[in-house]
Structure 1
Amino acid sequence: MEAITTQGVAIPRLGFGTFRMPGADAQPAVESALALGYRHIDTAAMYENEAAVGAALAASGVARDKLFVTTKVWHDQLVPDALHRAFDASLRKLGLDHVDLYMIHWPARDLDMAATLEALIALRERGLTRAIGVCNFNLPMLRRAVEEIRAPLASVQLEYHPFLSQASTLAYLRGKGIPLTAYAPLAQGRAASDPTLAVLGRKHSCSAAQMAIAWLLDQPGVAVIPKAARPESQRANLDALAVRLNHQDHAAIAALPKDQRFVRPPFAPDWDAAA
């Protein structure tokens, strides 16, 4: 599996997402994914499945140093003391002595960014997480985190799929050597039924969903974490690694609407904020 090296860690470019796999539902799915060859597992406190993910990791027999495990702290736990307690709870549920990447899941409206990022950095310095990152920060927030606070971000996780442009953010992150991890890469299932992606997929003997994943993987500095509960879907996502796009494919996907954002919780930041 190709990996992106960043801040001293190697992030496998195709990972396994576990959103909307609550409780014990996650364990068999993660066990299957690990058996198929996934090594990058993405979870979060909010998913309420860290214990099940940890059980799957333990049952897999895969050596810890071959795994890349990400978890995240929820936006109501970003005050440093609360963040440290949340981290300890996540680590305990996962049954690990460290995680590979610990991330802010969403920024809070009253976020003290410097204090929160310093709390993350302290976890990294103690060896409890190998790297730190943020999710769902808009571009002005990223500029502040990187340029003013100088946080050593190893990844930024954002909604990214063929129907949503992240061009300006991606250009900024590439300039700073920070990978973008694409969540909801199938646009919450919409990519699988898109006519343009289906036509391209038939040309490459693959599905529309595989085309969407392959398009993301074809972009430098992008990792992808699709969710798939069924082993056959997990395998199909892995098979997308072999799909090679050409200029015509990219042109066709570029012509799709790029303003469709599907993850819009009420606490999301202003995505249109000027950089």
Structure 2
Amino acid sequence: MYGNEAAVGEGIAAADVDREDVVVATKVHPDNLASESVRETARESLDRLGVDRVDLLYVHWPIGAYDPDETLPAFDALREAGLTDHVGVSNFTPELLREAEGVLDAPIAAHQVECHPRFQQPDLRAIAAERDHALVGYSPLAQGEILDDPDFAGIAEEHDLRPAVLALAWGLARDVTPIPKATGDHVTENLRAVTAEVPETALDAVDALEGGERRIDPDAAAWNR
């Protein structure tokens, strides 16, 4: 779907980094969530990536061909076959998470959802803490809109922080693994969030921001049904 597995595989092969130090994750498209399609397209992903296994394989959205009783055992089978180390889900509601836990043999290792300072996902963060899985936050900069948000920018300026650094550091401090999309100098800036010294007063101010709307909200999403 993203058209980048081959490029990621080339990067892994070219990098002077041990494979064990790289976490490789990919997803199965909603159209391919029937049992046999899961098995077939997961292997195609491995071929494009040039690896014999991924660390994490996600159910991309619980829509399309998704049927928990058919889809999830196929993910278990891939894990048992050594083609993925862990099983993840993406864009699930709390109800669908509980349902998936009841079907899967594997523990859910990660749940990937939209999460940023204006859409903080407190319920799913609490479930992740309770169930001990990672909450992975996509669009952690609200597709760039958080950078121009006057209230958020004011908090960042008050604490002498770049808005992107504060947004990502807030996620890390709140047990969210943010996955920003960036190129060029923005990549370097984003990495500063890992070591940035962000006072608790700044994090608390972000916590207190009024919630906003989703940026990623397809009509077919589980929360719209």
Q: Does TM, scored on the shorter chain, surpass 0.5?
A: yes
TM range (shorter): over 0.9
Q: Return 5+ residue gaps in structure 1 as ranges.
A: 1-45
Q: What does residue range 1-275 of structure 1 map to in structure 2 within 5 Å?
A: 46-109=1-64, 111-147=66-102, 149=104, 151-220=106-175, 222-230=176-184, 232-270=185-223
Matched to 1:107, the amino acid is: P
Which has the larger displacement, 112-121 or 248-257?
248-257
Give the Cα separation in 2 of the matches to 1:149 and 1:89: 23
Matched to 2:46, the amino acid is: L
Matched to 2:202, the amino acid is: D
Give the Cα separation in 2 of the matches to 1:115 and 1:146: 14
Give the Cα separation in 2 of the matches to 1:191 and 1:77: 33
Give the Cα separation in 1 of the matches to 2:56 and 2:103: 22
Q: Is the 8 A contact 2:33 2:66 kept in 1?
A: yes
Percent identity, please. Answer: 38
Q: Is the 8 A contact 2:31 2:65 kept in 1?
A: no
TM-score between the two structures when normalised by the length of structure 2: 0.93
**SS at 1:223 equivalent:** strand
Q: Return 5+ residue gaps in structure 2 as ranges.
A: none
Deviation string for 1:211-265 (max 9, x for gaps)?
1101101013x211111111x1111111011223334323321232213100012
Q: Is the 8 A contact 1:145 1:151 kept in 2?
A: no
**SS at 1:172 equivalent:** helix
Matched to 2:77, the amino acid is: A
User: What is the number of residues matched between the two proteins?
Assistant: 225
Q: Is the 8 A contact 1:197 1:211 kept in 2?
A: no
Name the structure, 1 or 2, with higher relative contact order (CA <8 Å, separation 6+).
Answer: 1
**SS at 1:191 equivalent:** helix
Give the Cα separation in 1 of the matches to 2:69 and 2:82: 20
**SS at 2:181 equivalent:** coil
**SS at 1:189 equivalent:** helix
Report deviation, 1:148: 5.2
Q: Is the 8 A contact 1:204 1:243 kept in 2?
A: no
Report deviation, 1:205: 3.0
Deviation string for 1:150-196 (max 9, x for gaps)?
54110000000011131111112211111100000000001111223
More helix by proportion, 1 or 2?
A: 2
Matched to 2:61, the amino acid is: W
Matched to 2:221, the amino acid is: A
Give the Cα separation in 1 of the matches to 2:86 and 2:65: 24
